[in-house]
Homo-oligomer: A and B are copies of this chain.
Amino acid sequence: MKTHTQHLPKCKDCAIRSTALFGELETKHLDDARALRSAQVTFEAGEHLYHEGDIPTKAYTLHQGWVILFKNLRSGDRQILRFALPGDFLCYKVGYHNVMDHSAIAVSDVTLCAFPLDRFRDVIGQLPELAFAISSITETATQRCHSSLTTIASHPAEAKVAFLLLSLFIREMTLRTGEMCIPFPITQEDIADALGLTSIHVNRVFQSLRKQGLIECKNRCLWIPNKTALAKVAKIPLNELEEIMIGTAAPHC
């Protein structure tokens, strides 16, 4: 982990600001919002951002790269709770049990904007909008969790994989326009750990989806030629999925 406090990039030039929440706040309360950010931080692929049990002091907006949020299980393997993509808000915790219930690890090299948590208390006093902004983010997170829960609990493996790939594809594509594939730094085993399947079975599903022409995936890149068709396999209407996956994700400065 490296921390940079000097020469931070200007917020107004930030490519992901439009997908992040401070984008909206900034117009009205530019200074308050900016004042929250303390530093930019980088982690290398494979580094832990935080561990289950940690008491966090900083929240992060993910600026670049992918992060996996997961819980370690007694049995030795892990349950992936969420894939965090640029624009996502991580590690915000204000409740009584201010202990992280999961760990986070960088899957690719990542850059984050750091916000000391204690400053939130002060700023929210003067800026109630921030409280609603954060509520909105948490609600989105819960909504996505509901969506995952539904898919994982009651659909066959092919639908689960289709759902996850399509979700990630939609989220990543909103960040980059006009490209013919998205970077896809996760492994089939990661997908298995997210969906409660074995990597072997995920592999079989991948091949089946490839044969049907629904996905193209090689060299750490993913392309979905026909989102509607894949949504059908995922057993969720495309517009519904897009509504959940796109939209305000994080405060960003």
Q: What is the interface of chain A, defined by CB distance below 8 A to chain B?
A: 71, 73-75, 77, 79, 81, 93-97, 101-102, 121, 124-125, 128, 131-132, 134-143, 145-150, 152-154, 194-196, 235-236, 243-244, 247-248
Which secondary structure characterizes the binding site on chain A?
A: helix
Given contacts A96-B136, A101-B143, A143-B101, contact A148 B149 (CB under 8 A): yes
Chain B residues closer than 8 Å to A77, beta-carbon distance: 154
Chain B residues closer than 8 Å to A71, beta-carbon distance: 146, 150
Given contacts A125-B128, A154-B79, contact A135 B95 (CB under 8 A): yes
Given contacts A131-B131, A138-B139, contact A146 B196 (CB under 8 A): no
A-B residue pairs, 9 tightest by C-beta:
A153-B196, A95-B136, A131-B131, A145-B145, A79-B150, A138-B138, A95-B139, A154-B196, A125-B128
Contact with A149, one of B140, B143, B149, B247 (Cβ below 8 angstroms)? B149
Contact with A101, one of B81, B97, B128, B146 (Cβ below 8 angstroms)? B146
Q: Please determine whether B243 and A97 come into contact, CB atoms closer than 8 angstroms.
A: yes
Chain B residues closer than 8 Å to A81, beta-carbon distance: 146, 149-150
Chain B residues closer than 8 Å to A244, beta-carbon distance: 101
- In the complex, what's the smallest C-beta–C-beta distance from A135 to chain B, in angstroms? 5
